[in-house]
Structure 1
Amino acid sequence: MTDDLAHPALLNTWKHHAGWIRGRITAAAHAGADGIARLPAEMAVVGSRLMDLYVGAFAPAAIAECVFTELKARGLFEYEPLAKWLAERGAYEMTELPDRSKWTIRLGPATGRYLHLHPGRWAPHTMRVQANTLRSAVMAHAHARLTGRDARDLAVVNEARRLYLGLLPVRELTGDGGLGAVIAALAE
């Protein structure tokens, strides 16, 4: 999840990075039915709440590097100055990347990955997503690859929801942050 990010960045890629998720779906599909069957357990880190998903072009490592560069230039990269600065601002601060996306900087534990990053709410290149909507979109793409079908097909979506997630079928693929929009965001 954050293993490929330079220390001290923490970014939950399952919850917050569409490009990383696309790569994970591809890797699972290459592993066949067993690889796809493992995805629901991996997605436990998604939780059950609403989240912000970055759909822009920057890779997780590039996002972290942009934030590192800004914080280093301001003398805020080390834990103590960062902790003091964030405390003065109510525990978080926003930063803007070159693609105009906005990222929330929070403080993690002093002994680990203390630079916790989240995409900004309602910011460019970000969409609000319900947890089960994200899970359904991921599994629709994975199941579509396994079966040679289209992830945008309602029958494929409902088959994936039933087989992998134990969820009831949906009547339609809604847009604007709904299941249809998330499926589109995860398309290659």
Structure 2
Amino acid sequence: MNVDAINFNPWKHHAGFIKRRLGDIIDKDNLNDLNNSIKKIGSSLMDFYFGELSVDQIVMEAALILRKNNITTRESFINYIDKMSGYKIIFISDGSSWVLRVSDDIQKYVHIHPAKNSLHSIRVRALTLKTAILVTAYSILYNVPPLNIDNVNLVRKKYLNDPPVKLLNNKKGLGKMIELLTYTDSR
């Protein structure tokens, strides 16, 4: 299995990838570009990985597992997944679990994302993740505290056209995501 066949959306599923992009924020244009990039997140509920492995490491480990199972072509992958009721859960070196499905993309036909309740992952709503990303970027650009409800609501209104939040708790929901993107070291 070639790593090029694996379709992984790090905007939806990888804290380290996002944190690296946040490190590139130096002006308002970057913030606007970031706002366009997060559209790839969509609008659903997803599982979000915050472990130590990089995107490349995850993809390489998934490809290796498939190769070890003699799954090296699109056809062999489709047959394998069909026998598994439409998806396969794999475990990689850090103990996290990942779902493999057939992607609609003919070239990147292996879709991978963190499994529900996996180690080093949390379940998050798309709007929560988008807000956390933009609030963190905004706080970097303007040197303001990210866990501030006024800053959060300003970003939600200005960039996402969404209603304000009433509460912000760093132990759950949006506050937890902002804290994870701001203060947790992840690759």
TM-score w.r.t. the length of structure 2 is: 0.91
Alignment RMSD, CA only? 1.7
Q: Which ranges of 4 or more aligned residues in structure 1 deviate by more than 3 Å?
A: 174-177
Distance 1:49 1:159 in 2: 23
Gaps of 5+ in 1: none
Distance 1:110 1:157 in 2: 36
Change (3 A) 1:176 1:128: farther
Instruction: Say how many residue pairs are matched.
Output: 182
Matched, 1:107 2:102: yes
User: 1:58 matched to which residue of 2?
Assistant: 53
User: 1:122 matched to which residue of 2?
Assistant: 117
Residue among 109, 119, 126 paired with 1:131:
126
1:174 CA drift (Å): 3.5
Asked if 2 retains the 8 angstrom alpha-carbon contact of 1:18 and 1:186, the reply is yes
Distance 2:168 2:105 in 1: 43
Q: Percent identity?
A: 29
1:60 CA drift (Å): 0.7
Asked if 2 retains the 8 angstrom alpha-carbon contact of 1:94 and 1:102, the reply is yes
Asked if 2 retains the 8 angstrom alpha-carbon contact of 1:129 and 1:177, the reply is no
Distance 2:64 2:37 in 1: 31
Gaps of 5+ in 2: none
1:77 CA drift (Å): 2.8
1:146 CA drift (Å): 1.1
Residue among 40, 60, 69 paired with 2:64:
69
Relative contact order, higher structure (CA 8 A, sep 6+): 2
Asked if 2 retains the 8 angstrom alpha-carbon contact of 1:48 and 1:130, the reply is yes
Distance 2:89 2:46 in 1: 16
Matched, 1:19 2:23: no
TM-score w.r.t. the length of structure 1 is: 0.90
User: 2:176 matched to which residue of 1?
Assistant: 181
Matched, 1:39 2:7: no
